[in-house]
Amino acid sequence: MRGLLGPKDSVLELGCGTGSTALLLADGTASYLATDFSAEMIAIAESKLAQQPVSQLSFRVASAETLAAEGVRYDAVLGFNYLHLVDDLPGTLAAIRDLLAPGGVFISKTACLSDMNPLIRLAIPVMQLFGRAPHVNVFSATALREAMQSAGFAVDFCEYHGSGRKDARPVIIAHKTE
Ligand SMILES: C[S@@+](CC[C@H](N)C(=O)[O-])C[C@H]1O[C@@H](n2cnc3c(N)ncnc32)[C@H](O)[C@@H]1O
């Protein structure tokens, strides 16, 4: 990921959780805004940043939709382990496209539950019933790529880097089309 980002890039991360990835990547960029819609996650991320300052990095409570309305554009938008959790995948992808400068790149890694063991899919509704799982989108990597293309992205790479025998979390690199 560091190789994909440059020292002149303004970067936005969505669904950053507690900020571990942001803390690893931000020093190779011009600016790196890491966001999550959970205030609790951002509070933990802020405390980690206070212990390990990185001048380019800031954290904020926000979503793709709220940020897109602000009109700021980024060279790269990142979303790791995030797209399968959003409520409205086409709407979020449209907001991400709006957040990118012309030719900007969207880098994601996403759990594609349709490509996983069916037992995992069966377990999710049961876990949701007991409040143990959030809202989850079930789609395949093929469907995710199609959703990106419908939202105005061209997919450059779709690669699997997991160490397990069957990795169903593709890294997809896509750029905004005109
Ligand atoms: C599985 S965690 C992944 C955290 C981090 N990106 C990582 O890979 O370790 C998913 C994160 O996405 C956030 N999230 C889920 N839906 C979101 C949304 N619609 N907008 C912003 N953040 C969201 C959650 O609060 C959570 O912190």
Cα(163) to ligand 1 centroid in Å equals 22
> Tens digit of pLDDT for each residue in 103-122?
999 999 999 999 988 888 77
Provide the CATH number for the domain around residue 52.
Answer: 3.40.50.150
Q: Which residues pair with 13 in a beta bridge?
A: 34, 78
> Tens digit of pLDDT for each residue in 12-58?
999 999 999 999 999 999 999 999 999 999 999 999 999 999 999 99
139 lines ligand 1 (CB under 6 A): no
26 lines ligand 1 (CB under 6 A): no
Q: How many CA atoms lie within 13 A of 158 on its CB side?
A: 18
> Tens digit of pLDDT for each residue in 55-108?
999 999 999 999 999 999 999 999 999 999 999 999 999 999 999 999 999 999
First vs last C-alpha separation in the chain: 24
Cα(71) to ligand 1 centroid in Å equals 22
Flag whether pLDDT at 165 surpasses 80. no
Region of poorest pLDDT, from 73-77, 122-126, 137-141: 122-126
37 lines ligand 1 (CB under 6 A): yes
Domain count for the chain, please give it: 1
For residue 164, the enclosing domain spans 2-176
Question: Which residue type is seen at 19?
Answer: G
3-state DSSP of 9-76: CEEEEECCCCCHHHHHHHHHCCEEEEEECCHHHHHHHHHHHHHCCCCCEEEEECCHHHHHCCCCCEEE
pTM exceeds 0.85 for this model: yes
